[in-house]
């Protein structure tokens, strides 16, 4: 029997979960139009993390597609993208939002941000990278146009849309509900996400963080 563990990620915050190889992770955009920054690293060695750049190189694509794997910086598959109920717009080019970006946009430097939310959530499961990996930004609708420019658009995902991933190794998985409310990527307001972990094994330690 499929036993599901559910983790709610409040708006403008992040959560970390331990996932075993073979388990299925569903990432749900609960209210729609909400970007999810996703990070992952090997449970066996924290310096082997999901690399958006290595994934682009390995898949020869700018954006993730169902059927493809995501790769670590050592070119090993760490997650496979197995299903997607959203219109399919996702990003693999942007770093997470961070204090310097919000300062540049004229906001207070204490504005909630995915970088700090990632670090806080990851630290709770003993992952403290010196360099912040570029995330996979599920539901982020920032396509490349014919002129080679990145366009910044609102996420296309509807309430309840979800992406499904399979863990290809024992790993630590971190997702942040993007805190960006100065650009239109998250629609009219920032909202929360939900993680559902299914399959064999127990959900391990959970760590969270938000401002």
Closest CB 78 distance from Zn ion, rounded Å = 21
> Which helix (DSSP H) or strand (DSSP E) does residue 123 occupy?
helix 114-123
Closest CB 112 distance from Zn ion, rounded Å = 8
Q: Does 174 bind Zn ion (CB under 5 A)?
A: no
Q: Check if the beta carbon of residue 205 is closer than 8 Å to that of residue 125.
A: yes
Please identify, using beta-carbon distances, which residue of 24 and 174 lies nearer to Zn ion: 174
Q: Does 178 bind Zn ion (CB under 5 A)?
A: yes
- SS (HEC) of 135-201: CEEECCECCECCCCCECCECCCCCCCEEEEEEECCCEEEEEEECCCCCCHHHCCCCCCEEEEEECCC
Q: Does 119 bind Zn ion (CB under 5 A)?
A: no
Q: Which of residues 127-166 bind Zn ion (CB under 5 A)?
A: none
Q: Check if the beta carbon of residue 201 is closer than 8 Å to that of residue 20.
A: yes
Closest CB 6 distance from Zn ion, rounded Å = 22
The stretch among 2-10, 109-117, 167-175, 187-195 that binds Zn ion (CB under 5 A) is: 109-117
Instruction: Report the interface residues with Zn ion, using CB under 5 A.
Output: 97, 114, 178, 180
């Amino acid at each position: 029997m499929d036993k599901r563990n559910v983790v709610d990620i409040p708006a403008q915050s992040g959560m970390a979960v331990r996932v075993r190889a073979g388990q299925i992770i569903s990432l749900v955009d609960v209210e729609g139009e909400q970007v999810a920054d996703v990070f992952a690293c090997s449970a066996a060695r924290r310096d082997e993390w999901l690399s958006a750049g290595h994934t682009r190189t390995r898949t020869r694509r700018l954006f993730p597609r169902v059927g493809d794997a995501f790769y670590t910086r050592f070119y090993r598959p760490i997650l496979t993208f197995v299903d997607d109920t959203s219109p399919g717009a996702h990003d693999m080019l942007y770093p997470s939002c961070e204090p310097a970006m919000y300062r540049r946009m004229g906001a207070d430097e204490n504005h909630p941000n995915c970088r700090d939310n990632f670090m806080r959530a990851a630290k709770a499961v003993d992952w403290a990278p010196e360099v912040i990996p570029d995330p996979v930004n599920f539901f982020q609708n920032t396509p490349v146009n014919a002129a080679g420019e990145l366009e910044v658009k609102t996420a296309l995902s509807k309430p309840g849309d979800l992406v499904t991933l399979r863990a290809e190794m024992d790993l630590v998985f971190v997702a942040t509900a993007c805190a960006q409310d100065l650009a239109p990527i998250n629609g009219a307001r920032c909202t929360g996400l939900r993680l559902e972990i299914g399959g064999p094994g127990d959900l391990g330690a959970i760590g969270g963080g938000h401002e």
